[in-house]
Structure 1
Amino acid sequence: MTSISLVDILKAREVVKKSRSVVRTPMLTNVQTRLGLEKGSVDINLKLETMQRSGSFKMRGLTNQLANAPSSVLDGSRKLVTMSAGNYGRAFAQALHERNLKGVVCMPETAPENRCQLIQGYGISVERMTSTELMTTVKRHVIEDGMTFLHPFDDMNLIQGYGSCGLEILEDVPEVDLVLVCCGGGGLVAGIAAAIKLSGKTDCQVVAVEPEAAPSMYQSRLDGKPATITPKPTIAAGLAPPFTGGICFDLAQQFVDDVVLVSEQDIISAVETLYGIGLVVEPSGAAGMAALLAGRVDNVSSKRVVIVLTGSNVSPKELDKLVSDNVKK
C-alpha cells in the first residue's frame, strides 16, 4: 500500500512557503449565519483557496512537483506534458511561463473554451480531445516526443504539496471536526486528509465530494480498487477525470472517511449561495459547500466544519448564466 509521511508533507510545505506563486490563503470563520443557518446549529469555516494567485489550489502541488523534477526538465531540454480540464492546466501554464519552460496541455472537449484560451495566453500549447483519449495522447507525447509527464492528480510530490493546505486548516481551526473537500482525481483530498490525520487529529472526519455525473472515487470505494468511468456531462468539469489514480485511491483508503455525491442542482445552488455572500466560486470549487447545504453529509449538527473552496476561475458570463438559470427554476 502507498505510504506518505508527515515529514515529507512538512518538507513540501517549506517548498510551497518559499514559492512566490503560492499564498497562505485565509480562513473565513463562523459564516453559518451569513448562509442563513441558525446560530449554533453548525460552525462553518471556509478555506479560501479561491484566493490563490492562479485562482485555485493547484499551484501548491505543482510547485512541489517542479521542485522535484529532473534537471533535464528544469534546464528546458525536455518539454512537459499534462492533462487538465482547466485549473491544473492554468497553474501548469503559469508555472512554466515563469520558468521559461515549454509544455503541452491535453484538455477534454468538455472543458470551457475560455480555459483553453487562458492557457494558450501563457504560450503553452493546448490539444483538445475526448476524456477517454487523454492518457493515450499523453503517453504518445512521452514515448514519441520524449516529453516528461506531470500528472495532474496521481503524483506523490503533488499530493505532499496539497498537504500544506491541511496543515493550514489545523493552524486556523485546530478543533475542527469535519473537513469537506471536492474530489476529482483525488489528489487534494488525499493530501489534506493525510496531513490532518498524520498530525494527530485522527478524530477529524475528512469527506470527499464528487458530482453524481463523475463518481470515480465513489465507484473505486465500491470496487475496492481504482475505477475507470465514463463521466457524464457536468458543470463541474474539473471534477470529472475518467479514472481514479492508484496513489490517490490508496491514500484515500487510509485517510479519507467517506465519499459523498452531489447533483448538478446542488452545485448550482451552492455557487449561487456563495455568490450571495460575496464569494466567486467556480462549480467544481463549490462541491464541498453543495454537500453541506444539500444535506449529503450526516451528523453535522453542532460540529466545527471546514469547507475547502478550491477555485474561482469562472468568468462573469458563466457565473451570471449559472445564477440566472437557477433563479428561473
Structure 2
Amino acid sequence: MGEFSEEGLTLDLLREAREVVRSSPLGVINTPMIPWCQTTLPLDIHCNIHIKLENMQRTGSFKIRGVANQFARRPKGGHFVTMSAKKNGNYGKGWGREKKKKGKKKGGGGPGPPPPPPPPFFLGVSFGVEVERVPTSCLMNVVNRCVQEENMTFLHSYDDLDLIAGHASLGMEVLEVMPEPDVVVVCCGGGGLLAGVAAAIKLSGCDKTRIYGVEPEGACTMYKSFIEKKPVGMDSQSIASGLAPPFAGTLPFELCQRYVEGIVLINDEEIKAAVSTLYRSGLVVEPSGSAAFAAIVNNKIPELEGKNVVCILSGGNIGKDELTNFPD
C-alpha cells in the first residue's frame, strides 16, 4: 500500500482490473444505471441525472469489486487479516464471498463486544471468516498482532492499489452508459471508491468531468485532508458508519487530490431523510450508500443545471429494524 503512488494507477492497469472483476468467481454484476426521470424521486434541478444502483450488487455493496481484484492479485492459500466497518461491514461481507478460496482469513471490526454483530458479520463467520470485534481505536493494534504473531498478510479495506483498481470498474461501467458525464457524485469514507471511480473517468479521457466526493460532517477525514494537504484522522461519528473510518487513506488521498473537484459535506439528518426518500421510491439504500443522493437533493453540488450527472448509490445493506429509525 504505502509503496505505491498515484502514478502506479494507469489506464492499462484499470482495464486489466475491470476484466478481472468482470470474470471473478465472486459473481460481481454490472449493476443497472437508470435515469432519475424514470423514478418517483423528487428533483428540483433541471438536469439529466442517472443513478448507478450499486445497492443491487450481489453483496449489496460496491466493496466486492475491490475484494475480487485484491484477492486475484494475492497468492492462493495465504493467511490474511483485514478490518471492516464498525457497523455494516460491507468490506467484510465481500471477504465472505471468498469462502471458496483456501487460506485463513481474519476480520477485525469495532466497536465491541456487545451489541451483537449485524448480519454482514454473521455472514462472514458462516463463510469461514474469523471475526474479532474491537473498538475502532484498537483496530490497527489487532491487525499488527495478527501480522507479527500469526504471520498474516494485511489487506487494507480502502488504502490498497489493487482494491482501488477493482473499485474503478464501477467508473468504467458508468462510462459505458454515459460516455462523457459532466458531473459524477460519489460517497467517500476512506476514499477507495472515490479514488477508483475518479481515476477511471479521468484516465479514460473525461478531462472536463467534475467529480465530487461526499462525506458526513462528523466523519470528514478526506475533507480535512484536502484542507491540510495530507491524510489526517479524526474521531469519526456518523449514522453512515461505512463512511466513518478513523483516517483517510494515503493512496486515495493522493488520487483524490489529482482527480476530484472537491469534497462536500452532509449532516446526519440529511442522510436520514435521503434513506427515507429513496425507500419511499422503492430503493433500499443504507445511510452510507445514500450520501451522493443526499448531496444532490440538498443542493450541495454546484452548477448542475442542464448537466449530465451520475449519482452513485453505493450500498443497500440495511435491515427492516434499522429502517424504522428513519422518518416516514
Does TM-score exceed 0.5, indicating one fold? yes
Asked if 1:221 is matched to 2:226, the reply is yes
Amino acid at match of 1:89: G
What SS is found at the alignment partner of 1:31? helix
Q: How far apart in 2 are the matches of 1:305 and 1:193? A: 14
Match of 1:117 in 2: 122
Q: Report 1:287-306 matches (<5 A).
A: 287-306=291-310
Amino acid at match of 2:134: M
Deviation of the 1:117 alpha carbon: 2.2
Q: 1:270 aligns with which of 265, 268, 274?
A: 274
Name the TM-score, length of structure 1 as normaliser.
0.92
1:23-82 C-alpha deviation (Å, 9 max, x unpaired): 1111011337722225x712221101111111111111111111110x3xx12xx32110
Q: 1:235 aligns with which of 214, 234, 239?
A: 239
- More moved, 44-53 vs 217-226: 44-53
Q: How far apart in 2 are the matches of 1:166 and 1:98? A: 28
Deviation of the 1:200 alpha carbon: 0.5
Q: How far apart in 2 are the matches of 1:60 and 1:220? A: 25
What SS is found at the alignment partner of 2:40? coil
Q: How far apart in 2 are the matches of 1:23 and 1:112? A: 30
What SS is found at the alignment partner of 1:195? helix
Q: How far apart in 2 are the matches of 1:202 and 1:32? A: 29
Q: 1:288 to 1:296 in 2, by over 3 A?
A: same
Match of 1:244 in 2: 248
Q: 1:168 aligns with which of 173, 182, 191?
A: 173
Unaligned runs of 5+ in 2: none
1:256-309 C-alpha deviation (Å, 9 max, x unpaired): 111011100111111111111111001001000011111111111221111111
Contact 2:18 / 2:168 at 8 angstroms: preserved in 1? yes
Match of 2:94 in 1: 91
Identity %: 44
Asked if 1:27 is matched to 2:33, the reply is yes
Match of 1:318 in 2: 322
Deviation of the 1:137 alpha carbon: 1.1
Name the TM-score, length of structure 2 as normaliser.
0.92
Q: 1:18 aligns with which of 16, 23, 26?
A: 23
Q: Report 1:32-71 matches (<5 A).
A: 34-38=40-44, 41-69=46-74, 71=75
Contact 1:32 / 1:44 at 8 angstroms: preserved in 2? no
Match of 2:134 in 1: 129
Match of 2:103 in 1: 101
CA RMSD of superposed structures (Å): 1.6
Q: How far apart in 1 are the matches of 2:11 and 2:65? A: 16
Provide the aligned length of Structure 1 versus Structure 2: 316
What SS is found at the alignment partner of 2:36? coil
Amino acid at match of 2:81: V
Deviation of the 1:175 alpha carbon: 3.0
Contact 2:158 / 2:192 at 8 angstroms: preserved in 1? yes
